[in-house]
Structure 1
Amino acid sequence: MDTSAALIRALDQLADLLDQAADIPSTAPTPCTEFDVAALRGHIVGWLTAFTDGFTADDHTCSDPDAVTVSGSGAAQVRAAADRLRTVLPAALAEPLKIGDAGMPGDMAASMILWEYQMHGWDLAQAAGLDWSPDDEAVEASLAVAPAMLTPDFQGEGKAFAAAVPVAESATPLERLVGLSGRRPMR
């Protein structure tokens, strides 16, 4: 699977979803319990801007996600970031991405970012009562990466991710990813 193409496709879908969800009250809850809709939009746009700045900067250093203000639904900002990434991916994945004082291989960072936006797209869709259907092949790629990142340091009570939720054997790739990421895959 081409992570660059999958990431751009997921961002295009996310921008469309943000447009569709533009009228959701900003205080509406999301399955990502630390974020209401406004905070989730801020997280999506802020971090996507930071990651995009890192992939496009000469020194590959991410900018400050907290310095970003969401404009409207954030859809135009997501589209702009996707357009910027189209110009540098996949070549930028050969360089480490610097996030704060830490660095991570660019290809690993892109896989993590793909997973993050697949999940936050699902969070927003659930809050809005909308469908979210990222490509199964891209979700399968995230299923291959997520377990290595969902270590006990990051998953469980009081941590960034809740404990994994069991899903049916017949679960779709997205339902498996949702459950693995500590969310219940049902509406």
Structure 2
Amino acid sequence: MDISTALPRTLDQLADLLDRAADTPGTAPTPCTEFDVDALRAHVVGWLTAFTDGYTADDHTCSDPDSITVEGSGADQVRDAARRLRAALPDALAHPLNIGEAGMPGDMAASMILWEYQVHGWDLAQAAGADWNPDDEALEASLAFAPGMLTPDFQGEGKTFGPAVPIADSAPPMERLVALSGRRPVR
């Protein structure tokens, strides 16, 4: 499964999860210790909108994620982003995605976004007591991509990602991905 298929499909699944988690208290904690449920929704919707705006803008510049307000559960905003990305990808992957002052190759940014939303989907599912089952093939792609992003600058105690959690190589892909991303893959 290529990234231009995997990313919108994962976003569709995330939108469904947001609908199922709509009644989860906003102050409920998530495994992403930076965010409770409301803050995670705002992060997911704000950044996804910004990334999607970047992929669809003529200058490939992301909008300001902090200017986005979550409407309801955020599910419809995520569905809209998935729809817009389906129309823009794979052509937009050939251009850098301008995030603030930095540019990132479009295909690399899409892989980062896929990984981020798979893990944040898991965070939300854990908080809501809901199932989260992205496609194994897309998870394997993120397992191949993420180690390149999880450098000592970003992963470790007190950093964006906690230290990788030891887990068996035979564990399901979702469990391996969240463990790699510094989360304990248990409910």
TM over 0.5: yes
- RMSD (Å), alpha carbons: 0.6
Question: Cα distance, 1:86 vs. partner?
Answer: 1.1
| 2:138 partner amino acid | A
Cα deviation, 1:86-126, whole Å, max 9, x if unaligned, reads: 11101000000000000010000000000000000000000
Q: Which residue of 2 aligns with 1:30?
A: 30
CA distances 1:52-108 after superposition (whole Å, capped 9, x unpaired): 000000000000000000001000000011111111101000000000000010000
Aligned residue number for residue 5 of structure 1: 5
> Residues of 2 paired with 1:170 and 1:157: CA distance?
26
Q: Aligned pair count?
A: 187
- List per-residue Cα deviations over 1:10-45 (Å, max 9, x = no partner): 000000000000000000000000000000000000
CA distance in 2, matches of 1:162, 1:69: 28
Q: 3-state SS of the aligned residue for 2:103?
A: strand
Counterparts of 1:83-94 in structure 2 under 5 Å? 83-94=83-94
- The aligned amino acid for 1:147 is P
Whole-angstrom CA distance in 1 between matches of 2:48 and 2:85: 10
* 1:181 equivalent in structure 2: 181
Question: What letter corresponds to residue 54 of structure 2 in structure 1?
Answer: G
Q: Tell me how far apart the structure 1 counterparts of residues 140 and 155 of structure 2 sit (CA, whole Å).
A: 20
Q: TM-score, normalised by structure 1?
A: 0.99
Large movers: runs of 4+ above 3 Å: none
Offset of residue 128 of structure 1: 0.4
Structure 1 unaligned blocks of 5 or more: none
Which whole-Å CA distance do the structure 2 matches of 1:133 and 1:59 have between them? 35
TM-score, normalised on structure 2?
Answer: 0.99
Q: What is the CA–CA distance in structure 2 between the aligned matches of 1:63 and 1:16, rounded to whole Å? A: 24
